[in-house]
Amino acid sequence: MSANTHSTVLKHHFGDLEQQHASERLGMWMFLATEVLFFGGLFGAYACYRLWYAAEFEYASSFMNLKFASINTVFLVTSSLTMTLAIRCAKLGDKAGLYRNLLLTFALGSAFMVLKGFEYAEDFHEHILPGTSSFGGEIKHDAEAQGLDTGKVRLFLCFYYIMTGIHGVHIIIGLGCILWLVQQTYANKIPPENYSTVEVVSLYWHLVDAIWLFLMPMLYLAGAHIHHVAH
């Protein structure tokens, strides 16, 4: 490690690099704790209504596109792997590997959002929407035929759009941070001593991935998906 690199990476208010890295990690973890509580509120509200209106929630969930969501799960989990490999490359000073893994993570995250966009378009086309006037099509017709309360079905759809929407916003912010890391790598600002910059972004990215692992069964796997199989 050259004295020059050391001095540009180490901020003046830290004793040494180890202390700086530990502080950066702790800072991000403190933020992640607030994120857990933020999503915890949504999970709590969902759990309550899922238990209250089990039949309607399971019915509405069966209209969600499980195929798209499953592919998206694979995209996100794979992106978490490539992000962790990026930290390894950063630590080893493997700039080409760092680029490759960051760009792979970015591509997988973008693919997630693109697929999500197609999914929303399909939902819109099939009138799987929570608004009183926009809600319609097969989901409404079948719910009425089965004697289910359409208001409660629409409540599930509110959860679906709010939860996936907020999660999507988190993904977009994460993608922005990864692009920034790519730029920093290009500008030679991520030497091995500064690997924690990649690690801090990766912590955020993994949390967003972990939240999806809960959203996936809650939104897509509450019902038996007999409706989508039928048509």
Q: Does 177 bind another protein (CB under 8 A)?
A: no
Q: Does 196 bind another protein (CB under 8 A)?
A: no
Q: Does 26 bind another protein (CB under 8 A)?
A: yes
Q: In the bound complex, what is the minimum distance in angstroms from residue 225's beta carbon to another protein?
A: 7
Closest to 67 measured CA to CA, from 77, 78, 59, 75: 75
Q: Does 228 bind another protein (CB under 8 A)?
A: no
Q: Does 207 bind another protein (CB under 8 A)?
A: yes
Q: In the bound complex, what is the minimum distance in angstroms from residue 119's beta carbon to another protein?
A: 17
Q: Does 41 bind another protein (CB under 8 A)?
A: yes
What's the sign of the alpha-carbon dihedral 105, 106, 109, 111?
negative
What's the sign of the alpha-carbon dihedral 121, 124, 126, 130?
positive
8 A C-beta contact, residue 179 and residue 106: yes
Q: Does 51 bind another protein (CB under 8 A)?
A: yes
Q: In the bound complex, what is the minimum distance in angstroms from residue 80's beta carbon to another protein?
A: 5
Q: What is the C-alpha separation between 160 and 157, in angstroms, rounded?
A: 5
Q: Does 92 bind another protein (CB under 8 A)?
A: yes
DSSP code for 76: H
Q: Give, in order, the Cα–Cα distances in Å from 146 to each of 114, 189, 190.
A: 34, 61, 59
Q: Does 214 bind another protein (CB under 8 A)?
A: yes
Q: Does 110 bind another protein (CB under 8 A)?
A: no
Q: Does 81 bind another protein (CB under 8 A)?
A: yes
Among 9, 50, 112, 178, binds another protein (CB under 8 A): 50
Q: Does 172 bind another protein (CB under 8 A)?
A: no
Judged by beta carbon, residue 26 or residue 121, the one nearer another protein is 26
3-state helix/strand/coil string of 50-85: HHHCHHHHHHHHCCCCHHHHHHHHHHHHHHHHHHHH
The residue behind tokens 């760092």 is 98
8 A C-beta contact, residue 65 and residue 119: yes
What's the sign of the alpha-carbon dihedral 150, 126, 130, 114?
positive
Positions touching another protein (CB under 8 A) are 22, 25-26, 29-30, 32-33, 36-37, 40-41, 43-44, 47-48, 50-52, 54, 66, 70, 73-74, 77-78, 80-81, 83-85, 87-88, 91-92, 192, 199, 202-203, 206-207, 209-210, 213-214, 216-218, 221-222, 224-225
